[in-house]
Amino acid sequence: MAEGLDPVEAGKRLHDHGEQQVGPGDEGADPAERHFRAVQICEALLLAIVTVAAAWAGYSAARWGTESRVDIARSATLRNLATRNNLIALSQRNFDAATFNAWFIAFTLNSPQKEVIAERRFRPRFRVAFNAWLATHPLRNPHAPAGPTYMPQYRQPGLARAAELDGQADEAFAKGSTEGNQSDKYIRTTVFLASVLFLVGISTHFPLRGVRYALVGVGGALLVLSLVQLAQLPGPPG
């Protein structure tokens, strides 16, 4: 598995532990031996639960990680589209300013023919704002707007679309960041599960029963903590 604790390794530990179990001739063992046998069974159960929990945590981390990368990529795509719309709107505004300047030069030269030629180059949306600007009598009205682009009738849908795409990009990025955090939390849980695997694995190498009992107890506590964390995390995305 690409992320988290490898359940195959946990399964190998479980198999190796089974090889060290007490043989069938222990029916007549004293109570201490029977108690020791119970500890061995607990170790095997811990390894089995760790294997299942590690597989689930690794799978969930991978799914959340994939969802995070997809949403982050979607955010970048939306941001590029927003930038494109902004550039198109800027280009259109520059074109409108250029055609208006041509008209204004023809107007100052008192050349109606050139004015008509310049007006033919107006975009339909700009013509609406231009006519509204002329209606303010800019030659006589000192409070008239400086030009058609300053009129409320002058609209650029590209800018509104760019703002909408920027908002969607922000949402996708926030969603991807949250999903990435979920993946990190699952990976963090696998660290605790790996610690359980380590403690139970080395407990079989200690001849002192007190040490072995302590290692199994700590491993069990870490396993409970890991299971509580897994229960609190959302499941993998569908």
- Closest listed residue to residue 227, CA positions, set 57, 6, 14: 57
The domain tally of the chain equals 1
User: Is 237 inside a domain boundary?
Assistant: no
User: Is 179 inside a domain boundary?
Assistant: yes
User: Is 2 inside a domain boundary?
Assistant: no
The parent domain of residue 139 ranges over 7-17+30-232
Query: What pLDDT shows up at residue 23?
Result: 45
Query: What pLDDT shows up at residue 30?
Result: 58
User: Is 24 inside a domain boundary?
Assistant: no
- Residue 212 binned pLDDT confidence (cut-offs 50, 70, 90): confident
Query: What pLDDT shows up at residue 68?
Result: 96
- Measured at the CA of 69, the angle between CA 159 and CA 161, to 5 degrees, comes to 10
Count CB neighbours of 27 within 10 A. Answer: 6
DSSP string spanning 63-115? HHHHHHHHHHHHHHHHHHHHHHHHHHHHHHHHHHHHHHHHHHHHHHTT-HHHH
User: Is 101 inside a domain boundary?
Assistant: yes
Q: Take residue 50 and report the two structure tokens written for it.
A: 């760790």
Residue pLDDT, tens place only, 54-75: 999 999 999 999 999 999 999 9
Q: What letter does residue 201 receive in the DSSP assignment?
A: H
User: Is 63 inside a domain boundary?
Assistant: yes
User: Rounded to two decimals, what is the model's pTM?
Assistant: 0.70
- Residue 31 binned pLDDT confidence (cut-offs 50, 70, 90): low
pLDDT over 70 at 18, yes or no: no
CA-CA distances (angstroms) from residue 161 to 48, 56, 135, 168? Answer: 55, 42, 29, 11
User: Is 22 inside a domain boundary?
Assistant: no
Lowest mean pLDDT among 15-24, 186-195, 196-205: 15-24
User: Is 177 inside a domain boundary?
Assistant: yes
Query: What pLDDT shows up at residue 187?
Result: 92
Query: What pLDDT shows up at residue 26?
Result: 45
